[in-house]
Chain A
Amino acid sequence: EDQVTQSPEALRLQEGESSSLNCSYTVSGLRGLFWYRQDPGKGPEFLFTLYSAGEEKEKERLKATLTKKESFLHITAPKPEDSATYLCAVPGQGAQKLVFGQGTRLTINP
Chain B
Amino acid sequence: KAGVTQTPRYLIKTRGQQVTLSCSPISGHRSVSWYQQTPGQGLQFLFEYFSETQRNKGNFPGRFSGRQFSNSRSEMNVSTLELGDSALYLCASSLAQGQGHSPLHFGNGTRLTVT
Contacts and interface: CB of A to CB of B under 8 A. Distances in A.
B107 A43 contact: yes
B68 to A, nearest CB: 12
A67 B18 CA distance: 45
Contacts of A31: 101
Contacts of B96: 95-96
Interface residues of A, number: 25
A44 B103 contact: no
Interface in A69-108: 87, 89, 91-92, 94-103
Contacts, number: 68
Interface string B68-98: 0000000000000000000000101010101
B31 interface: yes
Q: Report which residue of B33, B35, B101 has the largest number of chain A beta carbons within 10 angstroms of its beta carbon.
A: B101
A98 B45 contact: yes
A42 B50 CA distance: 24
Q: Report which residue of A36, A44, A100, A101 has the largest number of chain B beta carbons within 10 angstroms of its beta carbon.
A: A44
A96 B90 contact: no
Contacts of A92: 45
A99 B43 CA distance: 8
A46 B108 CA distance: 13
Contact of A97 (B56, B98, B106, B108): B56
Interface of B: 4, 31, 33, 35, 42-45, 48, 50, 55-56, 58, 90, 92, 94, 96, 98-99, 101, 103-109
The 3 closest A-B pairs by CB, nearest first: A43-B106, A94-B56, A100-B43
